[in-house]
Structure 1
Amino acid sequence: MKRWLKLAAGAAAITLATAGCAGSGGSPDAAAPGGGQGGTLTVWLMTGSAPESLTQELNRKFEAAHPGVKVDYQVQQWNGIQQKLTTALASDTPPDVIEVGSTQTPAFEAQGVLQDLTGDVANLNGAQWLAGLKASGEYEGKTYGVPFYAASREVIYRKDMFEQAGITKPPASNQEWLDAIAKLKAKFGSDKDFQPLYLPGQNWYALLSLIWDNGGEVAKAGGKGFKSTLDSPGAKAGLEFYKQLVDASGTTAPKDNDEANPQQAGIYGGGKVAMFIGTPSELPTAAKTDPGITAKTGAFPIPSRTGGAGAPVFLGGSNLVVPVNSKHTDLAKEYLKLLTGAKYMTQMAAAGTVPGTSTDVAALAKDPFGAVMAQTSKNGRTVPASPKWGEVESGQNPMKDMLTAYLTGKKSLDQATADANTALDKIIGG
């Protein structure tokens, strides 16, 4: 869990970063061009992704297996990484192995700066790839990214409040979720500051789960672009249930802002909230107000309309790529093979993330919050693999506007979804 507490949603939102310095790529080795057995292999992984103990052991083992090779391992910061990667990948001497955010990968794939790994999938543990991340590493029928790790949202709740309200088990279906909200209101509703569920109006990551759970899609691939489907029956049903949750809970969360403004975990830490949809990484924020709140907190999957294992969840995470201009492509692929093998992916799970290339999540399941991710990752998904998706997240997100317009009553369901559909098409439609 400790490693997961550092990750959470950041990997999914890295396209927001626009500032930074120019990157310095790996140095070409004249003695071993094109991936020969010698020289320096430059590896860029992001801060907080792989535990230091893992990377130190990995690099020692790789160097021992490849005499004459030195691994130049560099930890990068998320802030400013977009520009730094853009500069590095366009250079003649880029790093040889790079961690890239899942929603960021399609843009680089479309620019032609990544090595085509289609013929290497089987050798890179392809049979073990996490299905929810796989699509973000594919472009026009070819594979450019190898799933590295992922994380997802869950319902974080106060176990003591549930018990006092007579809720004996976490809700699994939408109706059970609404029933739990009603029981919590009946028990604690005399306190005007109490909220059974704190749900901001623009938590579009949570909305994704509800849309997918109702059989809807955000967009579908078509021709050279994507066609928005936010006006489909499934998408509308997901938006309707979001409003049901807001209305039933009577949440005071702003309808015109997201979970970060204000930080929902800070509200939860005040002791007047029974549930919120978020990530375990948010708990330290709650603990700043109430140091003992983590011990009183549990988690369960976002309920599904049909019950069972829960609604599909958005997987925020990273892929591993090899720049097309790498001077050590063969060595880079060997490094990827080693890193994404069962040994190191099991260590990633033990550190608190869903391993991208292994189905072994037993270590992750030992933690109560990780256990939920281990369960829901099997049904995890990502946003449409559009090269222009970064513009959706960093600009005027049509789904946020749609939520606010519908929740505030400024637009009907049909009008809100139609307008959002048009706006999204303008971004990713071609």
Structure 2
Amino acid sequence: MKRRLVVALGAAVLMAGVTACSTGGTAGARVAPTSYRGRVLTVWLMAGDDPASWVATVRAEFEQKYPGATVDIQRQGWSGIQQKVTFALSATVPPDVIDIGNTQTAYYVTTGGLLDLDPYRAQLGGASWSPAMNRSTLVSGKQFAAPWFAGSRVVMYNKRLWARARLSPPATMDQWISDLDVLQHTPGVDSALYLPGQNWYAFDGFLQDAGSDILAQRNNTWVGDLESPAAIGAARLFKKLQAFGKAPKDQDEANPVEATVFARGNVASMIAMGYEQATVLQSNPAMKDDIGWFPIPGATAGTPARTFLGGSNLAVSSNSTNRELALGFLAIALDDANESAYVQATGFLPNKTGLYRALDGNAYAAAAQQAEANAGFTPGVPAWGNVENPPNPIVSQFLTPVLEGQDPQAAAAAADVKLDNRLAEG
């Protein structure tokens, strides 16, 4: 899943404030100095998932615990990653540990390429993993990956513009829509809400909040379900919100990078992830005191809307010849100290609710935590990976046509046919 579009741009800003580090609490029993000599553990991490200080700490702890072994951390780009990982998992000598998007776990399980982690769950700290975050790692009730981090989309807003409009964060969706109308007529506001038309992650949240999903299971077969009344209603809400700004109808949040648009100072709000704040400040440091956050409001006060919970899991290749080292790496990477340091460096939510204290003072995290318990994922369908392959029919056949004036029911019917075809590819 493409969910960290600009994190690399903001890494330097975020890392400046990171001082937490691990004390090596996972080192465990000492081993003979030569017992792992010459062993190399290959770890694939996605670009943006590898903050330098965290990588250095985990590497040092790993090499202390396994003397003579080294860890080769290889950064992977997002373009074509699903095909690359699928091929790698089928290799005789695959990467040992792989960072996988939480929407893709079920797809990789069907290849037979991921190790069943059920027997190792306790040693990896699984007893206290967040149930909401861990749902994406389970396939047929078995643990095929470890939850690493995630983030809910919430609203980043320009406090200066909202104050000019004499508004405060809304408690309900109706109030937010009313506020956006006021903001659209406030001097200095170019977009009350900047919402790219192909931001399907945001749409998926509205869809889940309406009680529906992108797919449905009928007669033991998964099919597209964008024609459902709830999905049509979610599309109409998305269109209403998108009209409060000047974001393109036929592009996603990376084209242009929405955080750089927000940094111009004339966007009142946008649906965003926490790491995007660093990109805003890198483009416009003067906005340091202007950025605020609130959960996407739901229909009733006190209950945020459901959102898509995007993030990453760590998995071990079933063909790994370094299973002990791979499991040891996961235990070190996911221990409380390193998990806390990771989320401090990136702004994502940790895999344990008990570690939220690591994000004290982080306004994004405070908003995202309110939504996390209710947040959801895309359907855990093995063929889901085919759905996300470009061109994604959710946006190309449905969202953009609806925003451009096509009848939602007709667009949904066309999109569902495409979804059915993608799912049938297996």
1:321 corresponds, among 312, 315, 339, to 315
How do 1:398-413 residues align onto structure 2 when only pairs under 5 Å count?
A: 398-400=393-395, 401-411=397-407, 413=408
Separation of aligned partners in 1, 2:358 and 2:200: 30
After superposition, the C-alpha distances for 1:198-228 in whole angstroms (9 at most, x for unaligned) are 2222221111111111111122456775232
What TM-score, normalized to structure 1?
A: 0.81
How do 1:206-355 residues align onto structure 2 when only pairs under 5 Å count?
A: 206-220=202-216, 226-247=222-243, 249=244, 251-283=245-277, 285-287=279-281, 290-351=284-345, 352-355=347-350
1:97 to partner: Cα distance: 2.1
Per the alignment, residue 27 of structure 2 pairs with: none
Per the alignment, residue 413 of structure 2 pairs with: 418
- SS of corresponding position for 1:75: strand
1:284 to partner: Cα distance: 5.2
> Any unmatched runs of 5+ in structure 2?
10-33
- Residue identity over aligned pairs, in percent, reads 34
Separation of aligned partners in 2, 1:118 and 1:223: 30
Per the alignment, residue 205 of structure 1 pairs with: 201
What TM-score, normalized to structure 2?
A: 0.82
Per the alignment, residue 70 of structure 2 pairs with: 71
- SS of corresponding position for 1:94: coil
Per the alignment, residue 367 of structure 2 pairs with: 372
How do 1:63-212 residues align onto structure 2 when only pairs under 5 Å count?
A: 63-66=63-66, 68-79=67-78, 81-167=81-167, 169-188=168-187, 194-212=190-208
After superposition, the C-alpha distances for 1:345-383 in whole angstroms (9 at most, x for unaligned) are 222222222123554111224222232233333332222
Q: Is this contact kept in 1: 2:6–2:279, CA < 8 A?
A: no
Per the alignment, residue 46 of structure 2 pairs with: 46
Q: Give the number of equivalent residue pairs.
A: 393
**Using a 3 Å threshold, how does the CA distance of structure 1 residues 340 and 281 change in structure 2: closer, same or farther?**
closer
**Using a 3 Å threshold, how does the CA distance of structure 1 residues 41 and 385 change in structure 2: closer, same or farther?**
farther
The residue identity in structure 1 corresponding to 2:209 is D
Separation of aligned partners in 2, 1:133 and 1:269: 31
- SS of corresponding position for 2:324: helix
1:274 to partner: Cα distance: 0.9
**Using a 3 Å threshold, how does the CA distance of structure 1 residues 327 and 293 change in structure 2: closer, same or farther?**
same
Q: Is this contact kept in 1: 2:7–2:276, CA < 8 A?
A: no
- SS of corresponding position for 2:356: coil
1:288 to partner: Cα distance: 6.3
**Using a 3 Å threshold, how does the CA distance of structure 1 residues 103 and 69 change in structure 2: closer, same or farther?**
farther
Q: Is this contact kept in 2: 1:106–1:139, CA < 8 A?
A: yes
1:256 to partner: Cα distance: 2.6
Per the alignment, residue 388 of structure 1 pairs with: 383
After superposition, the C-alpha distances for 1:18-49 in whole angstroms (9 at most, x for unaligned) are xxxxxxxxxxxxxxxxxx96352514133432
Separation of aligned partners in 2, 1:87 and 1:393: 17
- SS of corresponding position for 2:314: strand
The residue identity in structure 2 corresponding to 1:76 is R
After superposition, the C-alpha distances for 1:129-182 in whole angstroms (9 at most, x for unaligned) are 233443332334432111111223221111011111111x31131011012112
Separation of aligned partners in 2, 1:62 and 1:256: 45
After superposition, the C-alpha distances for 1:284-320 in whole angstroms (9 at most, x for unaligned) are 5545664412431212111212232422222222111
| More off after superposition, 352-361 vs 299-308 | 352-361
2:355 corresponds, among 323, 340, 360, to 360
The residue identity in structure 1 corresponding to 2:175 is E
Separation of aligned partners in 2, 1:291 and 1:357: 32
| More off after superposition, 202-211 vs 257-266 | 257-266
Separation of aligned partners in 2, 1:82 and 1:89: 11
1:107 to partner: Cα distance: 2.5
Q: Is this contact kept in 1: 2:61–2:332, CA < 8 A?
A: no
> Any unmatched runs of 5+ in structure 1?
9-35
**Using a 3 Å threshold, how does the CA distance of structure 1 residues 358 and 369 change in structure 2: closer, same or farther?**
closer
